[in-house]
Amino acid sequence: MTDRAAIKRGAAALGIDLPDAAADRLAAYARLLLKWNRTYNLTAIRDPRLVISHHLLDALSVLPHLGAIERLADVGSGGGLPGIPLAIASPLLQVVSIEAVGKKASFQCQARIELGLDNFRPVHSRIEQWHDDRGFDVVVSRAFSDLAELARVAAPLLVPGGRLLAMKGTRPQQELAGLPDGVAVSEVIELQVPGVDAERHLIVMTCEGAA
């Protein structure tokens, strides 16, 4: 099975109708990630097949839960996950990726250029030190810190009524119990990612006084 076919098949299992051009661009992103990984250690995964399942499809698993939004921020995205796959799959979605580590932000800049992602903008900064006047409908994170810390640093980026989406492995019971006042969990969604034999959960939160 070609990379395009594997990506399209996995996306379809997630309920996503992915055009051939988007699947090809996702495959190109995976190749670029593996190429840079030899020097910059962007990911512990080095098997191209696992990059498709554990990175690309894992990132895309959040797409059906975004709703009709215009702007998304990806915080602490490392090699651009989930921001770059989401930008590829949703060309009308404006994605800003905030990454504190210089070499990872540099990779994201190169990926933006090579993949022609006009709707994706990488930012090299700590989240606490960056501000956007327009705000975001959704702030998403993938394995970034704990939920309370995510709410603390990311809530100021949200527009009123915006949501925080935290991608986690096992259901983080202790973190859920330790959320501060003003942060409400609206949904805990168990994600089924094709090719990933491990638990995946999406924690959806709202914050009082966001933005």
pLDDT at residue 39 in the model: 78
Contact indicator for 208, 182 with CB cutoff of 8 Å:
yes
Residue 142: closest CA among 33, 59, 40, 53: 59
Question: What number of helices (H) and strands (E) belong to the chain?
Answer: 8, 7
Q: 3-class SS at 6?
A: helix
Q: From first to last of the 211 residues of the chain, give the pLDDT tens digit.
A: 789 999 999 999 999 999 999 999 999 999 999 998 877 777 777 777 888 999 999 999 999 999 999 999 999 888 999 999 999 999 999 999 999 999 999 999 999 999 999 999 999 999 999 988 899 999 999 977 799 999 999 999 999 999 999 999 999 999 999 998 899 999 999 999 999 999 999 999 998 755 4
Q: Is the C-alpha dihedral spanning 33, 119, 73, 138 positive or negative?
A: negative
Nearest-angstrom CA–CA distance, 81 and 63: 12
User: Which domains does the chain show, CATH number per domain?
Assistant: 3-207 (3.40.50.150)
Residue 10: closest CA among 44, 56, 45, 46: 56
pLDDT at residue 40 in the model: 76
Contact indicator for 74, 83 with CB cutoff of 8 Å:
yes
pLDDT at residue 2 in the model: 85
Question: What pTM does this model have?
Answer: 0.94
pLDDT at residue 130 in the model: 92
- What's the gap between Cα 38 and its chain centre? 22
